[in-house]
Amino acid sequence: MNVPFDPLRVAAATGCDVAPVLRERGQREVFCGLTGIIWLHRKIQDAFFLVVGSRTCAHLIQSAAGVMIFAEPRFATAIIDERDLAGLADVDDELDRVVSRLLERRPDIKLLFLVGSCPSEVIKLDLSRAAARLSGNYMPRVRVLNYSGSGIETTFTQGEDACLASLVPSLPNEGNASERSLLIVGALPDVVEDQWKRLFCGLGMARVQFLPSRRAAELPPVGPNTLFLLSQPFLADTARALEERGAVRLAAPFPFGVEGTTLWLRAAADAFGISRFEFDRVTQPAAIRARRALDHYRAALLGKRIFFFPDSQLEIPLARFLAREMGMQLVEVGTPYLHRQHLAQELDLLPQGTILSEGQHLENQIDRCRTAAPDLVVCGLGLANPLEAEGLTTKWSIELLFTPTHGYEQAGDLAELFARPINRRTRLVA
């Protein structure tokens, strides 16, 4: 099964004309944007996320990860109660009280996000005004920002997008340095950041920064000399905000698998005038290692049929990786939202005739999935066990965000995430 991989040859065998997108409306089985807090609160080590919402919001965040986080969480909910709704309590006073209690308890917090929710939006709580007021009270010790993670506005990973977009206006100006710099956008595991720093450094690109930074005080500067690469496909608002600051997006597929990673890195290398020879010299060892890692899992995945329920917006890049590098067949690739511009390079790489669906009508989609009887279903936590009980093999999609999956060194791990449920099925007899 050791098919030598050649991105250019594979690319020639496919085309850009993907079948028309199936657009559906109905019940959507997706998380809201608050869920992103589960990984964001560990990424920015001195930030705190205060959801202004209902008991449902609090319950969602503590349940969504499927487990409790045993370290002291850097998130909490200010639960709106009937006194707030009836106007008996002044919402500003209440918020001031909650924030002051919180900051007293956590003097280490430097950045506080007020996170809007469905109820706070329906009652039109103006959190941006509240954030400005609280920033006035607590700066320079604590900066207070706001964004919406509500389910009526955001789907799952869009919460991260909203959060990062809210950071952009407070990024420092890049100053008058004429040198261009590269900004990598998207919350990444520290290990992935460190690997990329090393790779870019090897390419002679020292000015590489990350958004979000690990600490609030280390936010990267931005300006017209900033070129940025999105590391995740769901960062539309953040990209727009960066473009408003003059930064320029480098179009590329996303860095999943060897091919995605190579094309993504090459987009930066080309922009910084690094020769193809130099690029290959630096990246080839890791790419070759990654291909070897993928070989381990190809036998398990080759020819297997996969069905994606819409969830994280990672579906299209992952489908591209699984189809082109692991030889999987794509039955249906669902995405909650299809950003055609940011995904243009990905769509070009998808096999001809791939069925894409956007939005969701859950019951109809489950019917299609049952009829197709795929070898592997990628879906959310609410669906996985019921589908397993029906005899389907599933991969829960939230793990794709909780595991380091980007770049060369994680390509094998990413493939393994899909191979494992299939492997497991073959092991169990009882």
Partner 1 sequence: MQLTVWTYEGPPHVGAMRVATAMEGLHYVLHAPQGDTYADLLFTMIERRAKRPPVTYTTFQARDLGGDTAELFKSAVRDAYERFKPEAMIVGASCTAELIQDDPGGLGRSLGLPVPIIPLELPSYQKKENWGAAETFYQIVRAIAGARAPAAGAERTARPADRRPRCNILGPTALGFRHRDDIAEVTRLLAQLGIDIHVTAPWGARPSDIAALGDADFNVVLYPEIASPAAQWLKKAFGQPATTTVPIGVSATREFIAEVAALAGVDAAPLLDWEQSRLPWYSRSVDSTYLTGKRAFIFGDATHVLAAARIASRELGFAVVGLGSYTREYARELREAARLLGVDALITDDYLEVEARIAELQPELVLGTQMERHIAKRLGIPCAVISAPVHVQDFPARYSPQMGFEGANVIFDTWVHPLMMGLEEHLLTMFRDDHEFHDEAGPSHLDKRKSAAADESRSAPLPIVWAADAERELRKVPFFVRGKARRNTETFAQTQGLTQITVETLYDAKAHFAR
* Residues pairing with 49 in the sheet: 75, 113
Cα–Cα distance for residue pair 36/51, rounded to 1 Å: 12
* Residues pairing with 249 in the sheet: 228
Of the two residues 27 and 275, which places its CB atom closer to partner 1 in the complex? 27
The SS3 assignment for 379 reads strand
E strands present in 263-343: 305-308, 329-335
Of the two residues 105 and 292, which places its CB atom closer to partner 1 in the complex? 105
Give the residue, chosen from 45, 62, 135, 403, that forms a contact with partner 1 under the rule CB under 8 A: 62
Q: Say whether residue 30 binds partner 1 (CB under 8 A).
A: yes
Q: Say whether residue 91 binds partner 1 (CB under 8 A).
A: yes
The SS3 assignment for 223 reads coil
Tell me the two tokens of residue 121: 């939006």
Give the residue, chosen from 95, 163, 222, 252, that forms a contact with partner 1 under the rule CB under 8 A: 95
Of the two residues 29 and 332, which places its CB atom closer to partner 1 in the complex? 29
Cα–Cα distance for residue pair 389/427, rounded to 1 Å: 17
Scanning 14-22, 31-39, 339-347, 348-356 for contacts with partner 1 by CB under 8 A, the matching segment is 31-39
Q: Say whether residue 108 binds partner 1 (CB under 8 A).
A: no
Supply φ then ψ for residue 406, to 5 degrees. -80, 155
Q: Name which of 133, 117, 136, 134 is nearest 125 in CA terms.
A: 117
Q: Name which of 117, 131, 45, 48 is nearest 79 in CA terms.
A: 117
Q: Say whether residue 150 binds partner 1 (CB under 8 A).
A: yes
Q: Say whether residue 338 binds partner 1 (CB under 8 A).
A: no
Min. distance of Cβ 129 from partner 1 in angstroms? 16
Q: Which run of H or E residues covers position 375?
A: none
Min. distance of Cβ 347 from partner 1 in angstroms? 25
Q: Name which of 152, 186, 165, 166 is nearest 30 in CA terms.
A: 152
Q: Say whether residue 236 binds partner 1 (CB under 8 A).
A: no
For residue 189, the one-letter residue type is P
Q: How far is CA 285 from the centre of its chain?
A: 27
Min. distance of Cβ 212 from partner 1 in angstroms? 22
Q: Say whether residue 195 binds partner 1 (CB under 8 A).
A: no
Q: Say whether residue 161 binds partner 1 (CB under 8 A).
A: no
Scanning 8-16, 20-28, 349-357, 420-428 for contacts with partner 1 by CB under 8 A, the matching segment is 20-28
Tell me the two tokens of residue 150: 């509500």
Give the residue, chosen from 73, 327, 351, 404, that forms a contact with partner 1 under the rule CB under 8 A: 73
Q: Say whether residue 31 binds partner 1 (CB under 8 A).
A: yes
Q: Say whether residue 82 binds partner 1 (CB under 8 A).
A: yes
Cβ contact 187:39 at 8 Å: yes
Of the two residues 161 and 174, which places its CB atom closer to partner 1 in the complex? 161
Min. distance of Cβ 359 from partner 1 in angstroms? 10
For residue 70, the one-letter residue type is F
The SS3 assignment for 221 reads coil
Binding region for partner 1 (CB under 8 A): 26-35, 52, 54-56, 58-60, 62-64, 66-68, 70, 72-73, 76-82, 84-85, 89, 91, 94-95, 97-98, 101-102, 105, 118-119, 121-123, 150-153, 155, 363, 380-386, 388-389
